[in-house]
Amino acid sequence: MAVEQKGWDRNQMAARAAEELEDGMYVNLGIGIPTLVANYVGDKDITLQSENGMLGMGPFPYEGEEDADLINAGKQTITELNRTSYFDSATSFAMIRGGKIAAAILGAMEVAENGDLANWMIPKKLVKGMGGAMDLVAGVGRVVVVMDHTNKAGESKVLKACTLPLTGKGVVDRIITNLGVLDVVPGGLKIVQLADGISEDELRASTEATIVN
């Protein structure tokens, strides 16, 4: 059953996240809504990194042109561009850890007001692993989280403190949700923008984290 969601939908959140990207940036996009961000970069010259060893990730191949040797970090078949380069996993994470990737746009299960991020495991549930998420949040220049503001039960996912095991401590710079845009600042979160049709009171009511002016 589809849950009625207030504010921005998935594509609007992705479009808002695309505004974070500047011409010339090398960027890593996570799985889910972040993947959609690539559809909204417009004329900006953005190079997408796939952490399994590629800069310059292209779109999905045409049917019949899939190549087992050419996949993204989500293991989906993709294509190369005329700017593409390939490299090994150690080199890939050297550029991530070394701060050469300007930004990562990632999904999250929980974010806290101090920038803590949890997006890799729920205790006692299926543990799949962190993949490259811990390396990305620790290494890239700027971490932007895109996620629903609340869970299916209507509880805030923007918290005073994360309850789930962390992916990174104090790593998030900006949070984009269906209700708006928030920045991690000293003392809590600062409202940057409200989503279409959302009042500040509505955003505050759905946010457990401290909001500072």
Residue among 9, 22, 45, 88 that touches another protein (CB under 8 A): 88
By CB under 8 A, which span of 5-13, 39-47, 125-133, 141-149 interacts with another protein?
125-133
Nearest to another protein of 80, 208 (CB atom): 80
User: Closest separation between CB of residue 156 and another protein, Å?
Assistant: 22
Asked if 157 contacts 189 with a C-beta cutoff of 8 angstroms, the reply is no
Among 1, 3, 126, 153, binds another protein (CB under 8 A): 126
Q: In whole angstroms, what is the distance from residue 96 CA to residue 136 CA? A: 6
Among 17, 145, 166, 184, binds another protein (CB under 8 A): 166
Among 67, 161, 197, 199, binds another protein (CB under 8 A): 67
- To the query of whether residue 208 is one of the catalytic residues in this protein, the response is no
Chain centroid offset of residue 36 CA: 10
d(CA 157, CA 15): 21
CA distance 174 to 106: 11
Q: Which residues are within 8 A (CB) of 84 and not within 5 positions of it... i.e. 6 or more apart?
A: 54, 55, 56, 57, 58
Residues contributing to the site for another protein (CB under 8 A): 50-54, 59-63, 65-72, 74-78, 80, 86-90, 92-94, 96-97, 116, 126-135, 138-139, 165-170
